[in-house]
Amino acid sequence: MSPLIELEGLNVEFGHGRRRTTAVAGVSLSLSAGECLALVGESGSGKSVTARTLVGLTAPGAAVRAERFLVEGRDAAAFSEREWRRVRGRTVGLVLQDALSALDPLRRVGAEVGEPLLAHRVLPKAEVPARVEELLRDVGVPEPAERARQYPHQLSGGLRQRALIASALAAGPRVLVADEPTTALDVTVQAQVLDLLGELKAEGTALLLISHDLAVVARLADRIAVMKDGRIVESGPAERVLGAPEHPYTRMLLAAAPDPSRPAPSPAAVDEDDEEKGRLLTARGLVKRYRTPDGGLREAVADVSFGLAPGETLGIVGESGSGKSTTAQLVTGMLAPDAGEVLLDGRPWSALPERERRPARPAVQLVHQDPLASFDPRFTVRRILAEALAVAGVARGSERRERAVELLTQVGLGEQHLERRPRGLSGGQRQRVAIARALATGPRLLVCDEPVSALDVSVQAQVLELLARLRAELGLAMLFISHDLAVVRQVSDRVLVMKDGRAVEYGPAERVFRSPEHPYTRQLLAAVPRLPARISAA
């Protein structure tokens, strides 16, 4: 059987004249029905550019050359834009990593998922709503009829990603190009999506899977191609590449992958009783309700309590919609609880009016999941840090610059980054700037909401090491929110497990991971994808 995709000697360049940049150099690959090829590598390695080329979506002005580029035996290099539109969605489906930018903010989710069905005339218009609900249900979206009526901004990050996957699958493409399709998903939904992709593969769909999560790759891939600086440096059967990697870069990626069975030693000595004496932060019976589209009330957080000591890290885990991020917003004072309270140093925090809370705000800082969305794209790094330093009382320009350089050095960057703007930084560099901004006010508590979920494994390892070092040097307490249980185990002293807005398990990290008491915690741990045992032990 002929491959569905044949690509030889792909080169992609951006820019003009002497300023041209080579993004992909000499890449060759093929993909047959019922096969999964995984592309792995760090940010900037050329993975996503290769993926977009396969659906004719390279940026305007890009120079694309290939010795051979066939889609179902047709010369794709000669496709017009009209021909590509017939191919996208029907022959080759694409799942992008950033669902918020990929989904139209002005259209309901149901219209987004149903568009390929109408565009390719897969079903009569009257049958589309029922098929949309079925597709949403297949990718793990709860209450699919209600979600179909909502807009993208009304869904959590995980739900948006699932809707995007449903849209890509709607027209039944023979090839699915999935660019980090499970990055924003919690482990149980990730397992559902991986099961779904596995079923599609078994039914004959060809998968090109792009991921920095090597455990996900190990679960699905038949072959793996490792990319670095636009080139494939190693390729072969998945078992061989993961079990006996030949290239030093591949070995580095495997060494950096977090492992839920291999926790890092925790430097904090934590008092495990429930005494509130000496706590930095105490949450008592927190409740937060939201109005639903039908006019009812939904409890996003329901009677959640925990404590956090100076220098301690509390990990909060749970599925999308479990209330993790809402809890973080209650802790930081961005939301007011409908019941319960948050105490800072034993004194009221959540109950204070904003004008009374403001003087204490520098002590509690938030590190967002997506720093690019939290920065003004017009600002340089210098100005981003200057705003935070002004809040900290650093008034003079020369003093601000000196302090900004100190902060960048503290997070592993340098003075040369001061005049760069967010889009001129890599994902890891942006996250370091976000941490530097949070440190500018001299905080005692960092609330980290999915701070490494979008980073490849080597940069993720660097950021986690940075947070551990800052905690040890500055005595910072951290509330660390993540759907990645391997990461949570690596950084946390205690763990709070949330489901449907409630805390179902709370205790020392080692106890929770080794001897979970609640069935839901056991379900989460069982769903974590793992590298083969021989790799985990290496």
Please write the tens of the pLDDT for every residue from 191-215.
878 888 898 899 999 999 998 788 8
For residue 536, give both structure tokens: 């985990």
Helix ranges (H only) for 333-479 are: 354-357, 371-374, 381-391, 397-410, 427-439, 457-474
For residue 156, give both structure tokens: 């959590």
| Domains detected in the chain | 34-52+80-256 (3.40.50.300), 281-536 (3.40.50.300)
Cα–Cα nearest to 137, from 176, 96, 109, 98: 109
How far CA 35 is from CA of 7, 203, 206, in Å, comes to 16, 10, 5
Helix and strand numbers (H, E) in the chain are: 22, 21
| Residues 6 or more apart whose Cβ sits within 8 Å of residue 504 | 497, 498, 518, 520, 521
What is the spatial distance between Cα 272 and Cα 179, in angstroms, rounded to a whole number? 42
463 and 491 Cβ atoms separated by less than 8 Å: no
Alpha-carbon torsion angle 153, 284, 267, 215, nearest 10 = -40
What is the spatial distance between Cα 343 and Cα 370, in angstroms, rounded to a whole number? 28
Which amino acid belongs to residue 313? T
Cα–Cα nearest to 470, from 513, 438, 510, 427: 438
What is the spatial distance between Cα 11 and Cα 227, in angstroms, rounded to a whole number? 14
25 and 9 Cβ atoms separated by less than 8 Å: no
| Residues 6 or more apart whose Cβ sits within 8 Å of residue 386 | 400, 404
pLDDT of the chain along its 538 residues, tens only?
A: 689 999 999 999 988 777 788 999 999 999 999 999 999 988 778 898 999 999 999 877 889 999 999 999 999 999 999 999 999 999 999 998 767 778 899 999 999 999 999 999 999 999 999 999 999 998 888 899 999 999 998 887 678 888 998 999 999 999 999 988 887 677 877 887 888 889 889 999 999 999 878 888 999 999 999 999 999 999 999 999 999 999 999 999 988 887 766 654 454 444 445 456 679 999 999 999 988 777 888 899 999 999 999 999 999 998 877 899 899 999 999 999 999 999 999 999 998 898 888 888 899 999 987 777 788 989 999 999 999 998 888 767 788 899 999 999 988 888 999 999 988 887 778 888 999 999 999 999 999 988 887 777 887 888 888 889 889 998 999 999 988 888 899 899 999 999 999 999 999 999 999 999 999 999 999 888 888 755 544 4
194 and 220 Cβ atoms separated by less than 8 Å: yes
What rounded mean pLDDT belongs to the chain? 88
